[in-house]
Structures are given as structure tokens and as C-alpha cells.
Amino acid sequence: MNQGMPVPKHLTVNGVRLTYDDLGEGPAVLFVHGFMLDRTLWRDQVRALDGWRRIAPDLRGMGRSEAPERGYRMSVYADDLAALLDALDVERTVLCGLSMGGYVAFEFLRRHRERVAALVVLDARAEADTAERRSSRNDMIARVRDGGTDALTAELAAKFLAENASANARRRLADMMDRSPVAGVVGALEAMRDRPDDTPFLGSIGELPTLLLIGSDDTRTPRASMRAIADAVPAATFGVVPRSGHLPPLENPAEVTDRLRHFLDGLRAPEPSADLRL
Ligand code: MLT
């Protein structure tokens, strides 16, 4: 049940009503979920990371947030998050995004760099969609418009999780997918299809403390893509999360929490660089 979970909160920002969790006190960590997922992806990390203010929204069109019919772009998701931080009186944050949440994190960094104290990216790539992938997005859009989100859920669940994923991970993923409204799923597919190539941007991330993680059995994100991000970001640490497919926070929550805690502790080490300002 919902025991121990924060009570979801709601705010209208940037013209859309967002649902979010906001737990704890301290420097902020903003968690951004991926496609057809929602804030509950981060449930274990949000519960565990004492000493930090953990903010986990449902992106527009996902989970319990409002799902406008149109207007989904990476820039819009990023500006929603900046507006949410404004409303919550958070100036700077550690930014943590998984997969599509990683694409949003790159866009947030491009638009609101001064607000990011450190970056965590899981199971995402910097490259834009290939022509083949764009065509597969268009095919998915057509199927969802015709048959609703059920048309995708079984297929994607099989691709997202490692073969030996727990029953609990499977159930939680199914619940998140079931909550995804058609307009938001179509909008997210369009936004991912049309997103820019972030590869040239990576060089400008510079010395920002960065943690990159990928599930050991992720078949959605090529490991080479994450290694390429690591190679382009001098301050990045790259790690593989064992016993996990595309969704490590769900499939191996304790390991992800430990790695996040270690990274966050490092940000608080004595004499942090002036740029860090948590
Ligand atoms: C996600 O998990 O957010 C998606 O798999 C990302 C993608 O399809 O590119």
C-alpha cells in the first residue's frame, strides 16, 4: 500500500497542474522519470535519502499530472521543472534523470544551467533519434491513437525490465504504465522523436559533478552511448548497476540508492568547489 510514502502534492506551474512528491530538508535533488513512468519510479530513493530535499514530479502528461492535448517538447518539460523549482523556492538542485528523464535533464541543463549543482543520468543516450527510431515512434503514436496505451504496455514492459526482474518490479511498472494517459504518451513520443542531438552539447557540461549509471542488462540504451557521455564529460563517474534492465531504480533499488548516496555525500565533502553551491 502507500505506507511510508509522501502524500502527493499538486501545483499549477507553466500552465499545467503537476503532481509531485517533496520530502525532507536540505539541498535539493530533483528526480525526473522516463517514458510511461511517473514519480513513483523513485519511491525507494525518495524514501531513503535523508539529509536531502527529494523532489519527484510526474512530468506533464504522465502519472497524475495534467495531460494537455498538445504542446509536448523537451523544452516544455524542462521549463515546467524550472517553474516547479521556482514555486518551491529552490534555487539550485542536483538533477537526476532516467532515460527520457535524462533527455529532459540535458535540456534543463541547456536552458537553466545556473540551477544545476550536479547531474545524475541513468540509462539515457545523448544522440537524437535515428530515422529508423523516428519511424518507430510514429508507428507507436498511430497504435496508441487507435488502440490506447494498452497497445504498448506489454511490448514495452518486456523491453524495459531484465528477464529475471522481480514480481514487485513488474507490478509497479504495470501500475505506472496503466496510469499513463493517451495524450501524454503521444506527446512524449513526439517530444522524444523531435529532440535535438545532445552530443555536441556534452562538451559544455565541463566540470559539473556527474554520475552516469546503466543497468547491466539494459537492452534499450546501448552501453556505448553512456560511455560516450562519460568520455565527453571530464568530471563524470560511470557505473553499471547489476541485476537490472532499463529501470535500475525499480529493479535494483538498494544499489541505486547506495550509489546515489555515495555521490551526494561526495558533493558535501570539505571545501567543495565554489561552483558547487548546493
Ligand atoms: C524511456 O525509458 O524513457 C524511453 O525508453 C526512452 C526512449 O524511448 O528513447
CB of residue 99 inside a 6 A radius of ligand 1: yes
Q: Are 223 and 126 in contact (CB under 8 A)?
A: no
CB of residue 97 inside a 6 A radius of ligand 1: no
CB of residue 180 inside a 6 A radius of ligand 1: no
Q: Are 254 and 169 in contact (CB under 8 A)?
A: no
Q: 272, exposed or middle or buried, with CB in 10 Å at 0-12, 13-18, 19+?
A: middle
- Between the CA of 99 and the centroid of ligand 1 the distance, in Å, is 5
- Asked whether residue 275 is domain-assigned, the answer is no
- Asked whether residue 276 is domain-assigned, the answer is no
How many structural domains are present in the chain?
1
- Between the CA of 274 and the centroid of ligand 1 the distance, in Å, is 34
Q: Are 167 and 174 in contact (CB under 8 A)?
A: no
Instruction: Give the mean pLDDT of 142-150.
Output: 95
Instruction: Give the mean pLDDT of 247-254.
Output: 98
Domain housing 159: 9-266
- Asked whether residue 272 is domain-assigned, the answer is no
CB of residue 34 inside a 6 A radius of ligand 1: yes
7-37 confidence digits (pLDDT tens): 999 999 999 999 999 999 999 999 999 999 9
**Which residue, judged by its Cα, is nearest atom 9 of ligand 1?**
100
pLDDT at 2: 41
- Asked whether residue 159 is domain-assigned, the answer is yes
With b for 16 or more beta-carbon neighbours within 10 A and e for fewer, the 61-90 pattern comes to bbbbbbbbeeebebebbbbbbbbbbeebeb
CB of residue 35 inside a 6 A radius of ligand 1: yes
Instruction: Give the mean pLDDT of 203-221.
Output: 96
Shortest-distance atom of ligand 1 to CA 192: 9
- Asked whether residue 231 is domain-assigned, the answer is yes
268-277 confidence digits (pLDDT tens): 876 555 455 6
- Asked whether residue 1 is domain-assigned, the answer is no
- Asked whether residue 161 is domain-assigned, the answer is yes
Residue 229: which CATH number? 3.40.50.1820
86-129 confidence digits (pLDDT tens): 999 999 999 999 999 999 999 999 999 999 999 999 999 999 99
Q: Which residues partner with 22 through β-bridges? A: 55
- Asked whether residue 87 is domain-assigned, the answer is yes
172-185 confidence digits (pLDDT tens): 999 999 999 999 99
CB of residue 100 inside a 6 A radius of ligand 1: yes
